[in-house]
Amino acid sequence: MSPSNLPLTESLRRALIAAEGSPHRDLLIGSILATTAGKPELEAVAAQVLAPRAGQLELHLDGRSVEDHATNAVAFGTFVTKVAQAAQEYVRDRLGRTAARDVLIAPGPGSVRATFIAPDPVDVAQNPFADQQQDGPVWVDGNLQSEALHRFALLFAHSNPETPDSDVLDGAIQSIPLSARRKLRVAVHEVFKQEWSVSGEYRQRGIGVEEVVLQPIAAKYLWDRLKVEQMDEEPWVSSGILDGHKWSTGIMYFIPDGRSRPIPSSFASTEIQQQVAALAAEPEQRVEATFTVFIQHDSASSNSGRRSYLLRSIRPLDAGPAATLL
C-alpha cells in the first residue's frame, strides 16, 4: 500500500516512529501531536507509540491524610516498599529466581506521588514479544517487572465493587502469584487505612496509557478479595464473537455462541491483550477463545458461585484482515 493510501492512524504511527529517530525529535513530535488534539483515535495511537518501552506505574495520593503535599511517612514507605516487593515476588515465581534489576521508584515534586519504573531487560532479545505498533525492532520489552506493574495497575482499576467490570477482578488476582498477592495486600491496606484516594496511569509502549483509580472503599474491597488464596478453577474453550476491547481498562468482552450477554475477561499476558486488540479492530470478529474460569463459592448460598474469566489464548475463525495480524 502506497503511503498516500494508508489509513490516517497508520500514517500517524509511521510519522511518530520516524520523528523518534530524528535529531529534531521534540520539535517534530510536538508538531505531530498538535494535529491529534481532540481526536481520541489518533491520541490513542500516539500514546501507544510514545509510551516508554519499559512499564511505568505513576500514582498520585490524595485524601484526608494528605495535607500540603505531605502524608504519613511510615505509611507511604510501607506502601512503596510492598508494591516493589510484590513485583519481586512476581518475578521470582515466574523465573524461579530474583530479577537482575529491581523496580525503581521516582518520587515526584508538587504532590504525594510515586512512579514505579520497570528497568529495561539486560538483553531484550532474550525475552521479547511482538509489538503490533512497530514493523522493525522489538520495541516493547517483555521483562517481568513491567508485567508485574501492569497487573497491579489492572487490579487497582477493577476494584470498585459497584462497577460491572469488577467481575474480572478475581481472575486478575488469581493470575498473580500468592507470594506477590500477600505483599500487595499489605500495600493496599495502607490505602484504606490512610483514606488515600489514588489516581494515576500505567504507561508502556505498545499498550499506551491505562488509567488507574483506587478509592478507599475500593481498596478495602480489593484487600478483602486478596485474602482469598485459592479458588476452584476450570478450563473453558468456546467459539463466539469479540464484542469489544478497552485498552484503558485491560478488558475484553466475548459473546459465546448461543448467548446474547457478553462476558468480561482479563488477560493472562500483555501479549494476549495485544492479540485481542488486533482482532477487535474487525467488527464482530469470530474467534475461538480459551479461558481459565475461577469460581468463588458462597457457603451461605446455593448458587453455583461467582465466576471470573481469564483469557489464556485466542485465535481468529474468520478469514479476514485481522487473521493476518496474529
Tens digits of residue pLDDT in 161-215: 887 666 688 888 988 999 999 999 999 999 999 999 999 999 988 777 888 999 9
DSSP 8-state class, residue 120: P
Query: Which DSSP helix (H) or strand (E) runs through 292?
Result: strand 286-296
Q: What contacts 116, CB < 8 A, 6 or more positions away?
A: 56, 57, 58, 59, 83, 84, 87, 103, 104, 105, 149
- Amino acid at residue number 160: N
Q: For the whole model, what pTM was predicted?
A: 0.77
Please give the average per-residue pLDDT across 132-137, as a whole number. 43
Region 244-248: mean pLDDT is 69
Residues 6+ apart with CB under 8 A from 75: 65, 190, 193, 194
Task: Find which of 20-24, 236-240, 301-305 is predicted with most confidence, using mean pLDDT.
Answer: 236-240
Q: How far apart are CA 48 and CA 247, in angstroms?
A: 10
Mean pLDDT, residues 33-40 taken together: 85
Percent with pLDDT over 70 in the chain: 82
At residue 110, the pLDDT reads 66
- In the predicted structure, residue 299 carries a pLDDT above the cut 80: no
Average pLDDT in the 238-242 region?
92
Cβ-contact 214, 222 below 8 angstroms: yes
The CA distance from 273 to 269, in Å, is 7
Interaxial angle between packed helices 178-193 and 144-157, expressed in degrees from 0 to 180 and rounded to the nearest 10: 50
What is the share, in percent, of the chain residues with pLDDT greater than 90? Answer: 33
| Contact call for residues 311 and 263 (beta carbons, < 8 A) | no
